[in-house]
Amino acid sequence: MPEQCPMRALMRLLSTRAGLDDPHPIYAALREAAPMHELPHFGPGLTRYADVRAVLFDRDLRVSSQAAKPGSARADIAAKLPPDLQALPPPLFLQDDPAHKRLRRLIASAFSQRAVDALAGRMEAIAHMLLDALEDREAFDAIEHFAVPFPALIIAHILGVRAGRLGQFRIWSEAVIAELHPLASPVEREGAISAHRALAHFFRGELAERRHSPCEDLISELARAEGRSELSEEEAVSLCVNLLVAGHFTTTDLIGSLIYLLLKHPEQRRLLARQPALWPQAVDEALRIEPPTPLLARVFPKAAQLCGRAFEQGDNLNLFVAAANRDPRVFPDPDCFDVTRNDIDHVSFGGGAHYCLGAPLARAEAEIAVRVFFERLPRLSLIERGLAWRRSPNFRGLSRLELKQGPPERVEWPDGATPDQTNQWRSMPCLLE
């Protein structure tokens, strides 16, 4: 149909540099044009909130590559792996029941709200430790020096991995996510495979060590469960790799986006300084505006009809989370970043059976990290051309956010105040924000 051509062009734009820098006008055009579009290389995708949410909560749909049609994007992810990695069970978000339910139950308590609350003091201390090193620097990259190491140190602590390995883990984790990118180059694919192997090898060694000398960490917990025959060694290895990667870069992306949004909207930052109770809303608003995983997918277990299109058994269906989160049918003034927005029921953590297991952890990490960041460094501004977005339509986050520390911010005084009066007020810190 001729009217589909501009839409196909828009879809292609999503993978270009301009589209990756700012995909939101493209998503908006797609969402308002139709509820479903064909995405080159990915297949059909839903753009509207109500449809995306309904699919996430539909328990009949599947996620695994075994359920997907041979040749489809999802089946390809597994088929392109070498035999040794195909032998490893897939990550939890690509597993269907009954294995999914069994494995999720085994690790759920390590990521419960109670477990996360117990980590709050450590998170605060880690944020301060990282900022001690940045406080006196005139300029720095907030991604490299803060948003990357912060969640890495937390997930390493939960798993029980020594902090000395973290630099290597970052490289491996970034490489592994190329496995999920259907447009990854052969070199990126090779890099993903080597990194996946290296991570699996590393965790096999850690699990072997914990079988002999267990301690109070998640790797020991998995080694104990293995001893009780509740999971296989390969399942334990795969869970460790999955948690390390999932716990790493998505939260980095959230922290980076929240810092960026608050720098872009100083009035929202001042509001948070006056009303710290709004911090949880600020985190969810950043998740809504810039979802770190903007594209999810499901597989049809049998033939079905959706939005006037016929699907066959094993067909893939994409969900444009980033488009759904800015659907004006649900979110008034959807492009506006507003930390006072209530009931932000975004779909950035998915929904239903595969709802993100790390959601309480990610929320707490972002809230503590970014709050402490601005408390300690209140005079930051963006360096011109110091910003770069990751080159992937599957994962949205800043790869570079260069900031400089500046002179004290101009304080906004109540109407009618004279410069003399303002100088007097400067000596009364309680009146300053």
Chain residues binding ligand HEM by CB under 6 A are 63, 92-93, 104, 111, 155, 242-243, 246-247, 250-251, 254, 292-293, 296, 348-350, 354, 356-358, 361-362
For ligand HEM, the closer of residues 341 and 396 by Cβ is: 396
For ligand HEM, the closer of residues 62 and 341 by Cβ is: 62
Collapsed DSSP state (helix, strand, coil) of residue 386:
strand
Contact 325, 291 (CB under 8 A): yes
For ligand HEM, the closer of residues 14 and 94 by Cβ is: 94
Q: How far is CA 166 from the centre of its chain?
A: 19
DSSP secondary structure, 80-108, as one string: TS-HHHHTSPPPGGG--TTHHHHHHHHHH
User: Among residues 431, 363, 330, which one has the least CA distance to residue 120?
Assistant: 363
For ligand HEM, the closer of residues 92 and 123 by Cβ is: 92
What is the nearest approach in angstroms of ligand HEM to the Cβ of residue 218?
A: 9
The residue number whose beta carbon is nearest to ligand HEM equals 358
What is the nearest approach in angstroms of ligand HEM to the Cβ of residue 365?
A: 7
Report which residue type is found at 404. K
For ligand HEM, the closer of residues 134 and 364 by Cβ is: 364
For ligand HEM, the closer of residues 210 and 346 by Cβ is: 346
Contact 344, 288 (CB under 8 A): yes
For ligand HEM, the closer of residues 120 and 431 by Cβ is: 120
Instruction: Name the one residue in this structure whose structure tokens are 């779909």.
Output: 347
Instruction: Name the one residue in this structure whose structure tokens are 């993903």.
Output: 192
What is the nearest approach in angstroms of ligand HEM to the Cβ of residue 292?
A: 4
For ligand HEM, the closer of residues 42 and 111 by Cβ is: 111
Q: What radius of gyration, in Å, describes the C-alpha atoms of the chain?
A: 23
What is the nearest approach in angstroms of ligand HEM to the Cβ of residue 170?
A: 15
b (16+ CB within 10 A) / e for 333-363? ebeebbbebeebebbbbbbebbebbbbbbbb
Pull the structure tokens for residue 180: 């999920």
What is the nearest approach in angstroms of ligand HEM to the Cβ of residue 385?
A: 26
Residue 317 DSSP code: E
What is the nearest approach in angstroms of ligand HEM to the Cβ of residue 282?
A: 14
What is the nearest approach in angstroms of ligand HEM to the Cβ of residue 73?
A: 13
Q: Which residues lie closer than 8 Å to 211 by C-beta, 6 or more apart? A: 223, 226, 227
Pull the structure tokens for residue 178: 């190329």
Report which residue type is found at 317. L
What is the nearest approach in angstroms of ligand HEM to the Cβ of residue 407?
A: 33
Strands (E), 225-311: 295-299, 304-306, 309-311
Report which residue type is found at 386. G
Contact 220, 72 (CB under 8 A): no
What is the nearest approach in angstroms of ligand HEM to the Cβ of residue 257?
A: 9
For ligand HEM, the closer of residues 26 and 357 by Cβ is: 357
